[in-house]
Structure 1
């Protein structure tokens, strides 16, 4: 496996970072979730992800919103979904980044998500047999997710 770098460089003294490699979740769901939590405080983002997993709040789908149903409780945007599996993986990643910040001696109460990005991961190739000796690709897309937490300046 090739080494995967972070998209941007940050000051290691004031930031904590975490990356999850080749998650078996939807890349489109990860994109929408990370767009929604980017820039939020860590506690607010964790609460948001827990609410999505409990199906109390939905993630607004702004880019990948073709044939996505509207959610009545959403404000500012109509289309939305409840990507439970992707939210669970990103919530684990946020907890990992929080533990890294705590290990570094940073104040976890004042942490903000300053960078959140997803990248295409390895494609797990698969085939599905069809009639007449043919086959159809049945691939599994993976995604690499990276998060950087920074201390909030007061």
Structure 2
């Protein structure tokens, strides 16, 4: 995503025009984790501030707050939940930990660019499929079964926004 596209995205979403030097990027490649869960976590933390996303993902790693699953819900357990609106939830610990690593990188890049880290909002979060690590499990009678492992690339883009358009609180209140 180019800087011009990020500026247009911020203008459409928040109604604020930003300069191209108010953008920070972070990229993590070839993480060994689930691509589907990475897509769900990226969709969830989009349009949060860095601190809000770090707080939620840290609670997910500690198994305190779940991530809503909205797209990949086939054959998933539905929970009798204290929260409303999304009965399918998971605690993707490995994915949340890897997103925390990339979020730390985004925070450091924003600080290096001279941005106020408290006002940086994640405006783009994407998970792309990486290389496939090929492996085979030997079986009886000279056969073998493919045992491949998918890797995931994480891309985060943050923009420094004015205080009046920052998200005030997290989108979901899990516990009442």
TM-superposed CA distance for 1:12, in Å, is: 4.3
Shift of the alpha carbon at 1:121?
A: 0.2
Return 5+ residue gaps in structure 2 as ranges: 4-18, 165-176
Report how many residues are paired.
147
- How does the TM-score come out when normalised to structure 1? 0.91
Give 1 or 2: higher helix fraction: 2
1:139 to 136, 145, 148: 148
Q: 1:3-18 alignment to 2 at 5 Å?
A: 8-10=1-3, 12-18=20-26
| CA displacement at 1:97 relative to structure 2 | 0.4
Please give the root-mean-square deviation of Cα atoms over the aligned residues, in Å.
1.2
- Mapped pair 1:118 → 2:127: yes
Q: 130-139 or 62-71, which moves further after superposition? A: 62-71
> In the alignment, is residue 54 of structure 1 matched against residue 62 of structure 2?
yes
Which string of whole-angstrom CA distances, capped at 9 and with x for unpartnered residues, describes residues 22-55 of structure 1? 1111101100100000111111111110111111
Which stretches of structure 1, 4 residues or longer, exceed 2 Å deviation after superposition? none
Q: Which has the larger radius of gyration?
A: 2
1:96 to 96, 101, 105: 105
Measured against aligned partners, the alpha-carbon deviations of 1:78-126 in whole angstroms (never above 9, x if no partner) come to 0011000110000110011000000111000111000000111000100
Counterpart of 1:148?
A: 157
1:131 is displaced (CA, Å) by: 2.0
Greater shift, 135-144 or 10-19, is seen at: 10-19
SS in 2 for 1:143: strand
TM-score (norm 2): 0.80
Distance 1:12 1:101 in 2: 13
